[in-house]
Structure 1
Amino acid sequence: MKPIYYCLLTTFCLLLISSDRLIAQIPGSLDSLENYVQSHSPTDTNYVNALLKMGNLTTRARANYDRADSLLRVAEKLAIKLSFDRGIYQANTFLGTNYYLSGRPQQTLDYLLKALAIAEAKKLSPRVLANAMTNLGTAYRNLNQHEKAIDISLRSLRMQEQYNIQPRNENTYNGVGLALKEARRPREAIGYFQQALALNQQLKAPYGIAITEQNIGRCYDDLNQYDKALAYYRTALKHARESESRLLQSDILVNTGLVLRELKRLDEAKRAIEQALAISIEQENKGAMATDYFNLGQVYEELNDYKLAELNMKKALALANELDDSKKIAIYTQGLADLYGGMKDFQQAYVFQLERNQHMDSTITVRTSAEVQRMMAKYETEKKEAQIKLLQQQAKLNRQENERTRFQTNVLIAGSVLLLLLGASVSAWLLNRSRLRRLEEAQRLRRQIAHDLHDEVGSTLSSISMLSGHTDALLSQNRPETAQKMVQKIYTDARQILESIDEIIWTINPGNDSLQRIALRLQEYAQPLMESKAIRFSFVIDPTLETAPMSMEVRRSLYLIGKEAINNLVKYSGATEATVRFERKDSKLQVVIEDNGQGFDLTQPRERTGQTSMKQRAEAMGGSLDVQSAPGQGTRLQLVVNP
């Protein structure tokens, strides 16, 4: 399971600069800053600078986000009172940094947008404006708004060139590099990171050097050049220790452990992750602790030390339950189920597999219940509005009837009777037609369910029945090893039946008749598979498509095509990054699944890829499926269909 990578938001653009004289008066360490704040009166900008620097160090060095938030808000209030424009700007920038590192991307964007607005309104220097744009680029990138990220970063670079700002802001180059990396152009990204590294080295900034070296290591990791990646992680860790940033040290250690695991240097990987875990415990960061325990458990599993693997994965699961993190709970229970399967403890594997399935079901149930409540509230509101409108119309009719003559009233009554008779006849015809249509739909649904149960469950149950009888015979013949293989096959078949029945039930549930439900189902299926192979995975859906209705037949075919493609990607691609996108193409739905893996030759016959089956399903629902791949260039699958 890959950790959350902490990218460089700021370095010198976030240092609190009032004047050289004032900076000289402000201490550099957290302890000395504490003493300074306690011994000075909050009456001048120097005091604001001290609070801001203290808040920044509390975020970066100790990861105490609540404490940092309090300090920065006090600093902002004092800066406003003193009309200290630069201090107001820096307070909002630091608050954005604090929210970024604590994993709240929308709040990060809000505060960094506010910081840029303040810099523009107060006409702060071009350097400050360029820095604010650079910071904003990081916020956009954190929300996967890559076009906005690259646009604002390039605007910052142009401003630095226009005003010949020296030295250049190294974080701007980091921002462009990260955007290129996320666009799967790691070789180009390395060039920008190298420029950022040179600037940080000139400034002798160990924190910035460490961040940039880690980014270069990550690019070589993407290129599967693990020895180069490891070399950069080693030097990054050295500079992170110089900067005294425990949070950054932990992140680099986890990256180091993961690349050592790729190199099959498992003992070294274990030591690196253990060091990261020690820092997470020291920082009391339960989310990071859970991730570290699970990664450590997976290393022990590869070392065939199943007891320690079990112990660490259970600790990870306990922390995930304590944090009520449904995503991690699903991943960790699946990891334990797989671990027990490898240990041939099929009873425990079955228990954790059921727990994982039940947890995912309960998560969907909570979301479904909330959606039902929302829809019911909307329905009740609309019903009341219709009743009020009907009463108003009736009152109007009554007034009109009182003003009309008896003759007109008789004519109206006669006409109404005729209309009612006609309406009754039409209603009866429509009702019969509706009943017939519902009956046909019910019959079609029954045939579909019977077909699915026969194809996907019946044959597997027959296999289990035969295997069970064969197992009894093997045990009576005193052949336990062969019998154990039969039991493992029964376990695998039973798990397959559970998944098949779950998919059938999900498919026929009318509450899932929307593209949003299909996307959610595919994402929940893909995420744990991707993380089990350490594949960095992103899932994007066009917001305009979320509520698009989808028939049962199209929904089922779309889900099965996506599932087959994701399975192929995880099993055969050898990828480090993968993306699933749901997009609108003209009036049609376009689903793109792509990876940066080893690819394959489309002209050569291949087994187990299921391409023929996927294309047949696509054609059956009136769509088209296109697969693009070449050796060493990854694979891109594009499905286009009417929603």
Structure 2
Amino acid sequence: MCYLLLMALALLWGTLQGQSARPSQLPSVFSRPDSVPRQPPRAALPDTARVRGYLARGKQMRYTNIDSALRFDRQALALSRRIGFREGQARAQHAVANDLYNAGSYVAAGQAYEAAVHLTRRAGLCDQEAGAYNGMGLVAQALGNVQGAIEYFNRARARYAQCKPVNPRYEVLVLTNIGNTYMQTGQPARAERPLRQALARVTPAVDAAAVLNLLDLVGMLQQHQQHLDSAVATWRHELALANRVGNRRAQSFATANLASATLAQGQPRVALAYAQQAMRLARQLGNFSQITDNTLVLARAMHALGQPAAFDTLSRFLVLQDTLMGRARTEAVAQAQARFNVAEQHARIRTLEQQRRIIELQRAQQTLRTRVAVGVGLLLLALGLGLGWWVYRRRQQRREAALRRQLAADLHDDVGTLLTQIALQTDLLQEGLASPEEQPLQWAEVAGRSRLAVRQLNDVVWGLDAQNDTVPDLLNRLRDYAHEVLVPSGRDVRFVADPPASGTPLSAAVRRQLYLIYKEALHNILKHTADTATVTVTLHRQGPLLVLEVVNDGPLVPPGTERASGHGLRNIRTRAQALGGHATAEAAPNGGFAVRVQVPLT
């Protein structure tokens, strides 16, 4: 123990010399000595300067007006998030956590420290990350979680050791917190080793605040080990250093401890002076607990000196003690609630972790099912494409076969017969079987049939050409055919087309059948109407149907002729029904005859 006291005195003297030599170079608790401050871009300089201004004002008010300090630090945090200032966000989050801890909001402080750990790690602030672990240890200490506090302090110590350059102040700070945790939980024997290690690491680079806190704990340890003289010497050195640097909090603790210790040494007058000084400092700081303790020491010192005010002072102490006990009970309930909240939060975290693992398993299963489904789908798609291509090719082959059959039939029916007749007539003319008077008529008939064969051949080619699959092309063909067969006979032809139907596409089957129906209708007109009749051809669209009307204004068919039962009209109806439509042939209301056909466009 004498070795411990001599080491403390020697290191304290070196610290005092270092403090007197460089009083203006004390590093701040929240400074960053291991790196050069980062220079933000010029465009963001005003906002980052505001962040640092908020942090500076919050630091100034942390021990005088905690609400204002918390407000400024939160403003710095919000502004840092908005402008994407990562370093400022990490420092502001750490400052908010410190404010919440000083305000006694331990659960909220613990959450804020956890957030600070992640932010400082992302920002590359080594000392700030270690400081956040240290804060988590202080929260655990306040909530009575000794093991958790020691674990967090050790984590902070290991992280501080990784920061370059190594700052002994942080090592002293963490070791002091470990010793304080053991002291507060009634384990002074376990507190001796970390406190001795802290004393061995005190150098002039360690700031006064850390040394003062360490000396206060060392004195308490010496007092518990019944080395009262050593404790008094340690606290006097603490008071001298506190007076030198102007630390009123350390002055208050040192004078209060000296008052109690000197009274135990049988020096009531010295104890009374220390107690009165400690009372003034405690009132300035608003420390109700110290005011109560100092009141008791005052009463005992006055009683030892035989002063009459001892009784009143003792009565005041009893009142303060009752109030303090009430506050202690309230704080105990609050801490118990906080510990319950922490336990509940940990249980909730475990539940969320289990749910996360379940979700991950479900996602993995879903991914596997999705991959299997995609593989099966691709396989089915490939099979479907292959089957579709095969069906398409079969249909194409059928269409080509049908087209060849249709072409052969059209050529045979329309053109072949005419060519056969032409061949027979020319053979007869070559044999000289016709009289000279009949030969010109027969040659004219051959020429007419040749022209008709050419027209029939053109019709076949037109029906097969895919470039004619529109309503305008059909209308042009109808107009050309009408002028070829009706106009030479003296009949007038009029065409009426619906503009919306002019751009409608037609299938080859619809176009061909409509054209054949139209030819059949004109053939009937040539056979059964007068040369002076006027023919009106109308082509228009009605919804999904295409309507073709051929109307002539010639005289009505005399009764008994049964015009509607002819082969031409039956062919018209049969062709319309083959396209899924229907046809009508009847007398027009104003005279003449009308053929009306409507077929679907597709």
TM range (shorter): 0.3 to 0.5
- TM-score, normalization by structure 1: 0.41
TM (norm. structure 2) is: 0.44
Bigger-Rg structure (1/2): 2
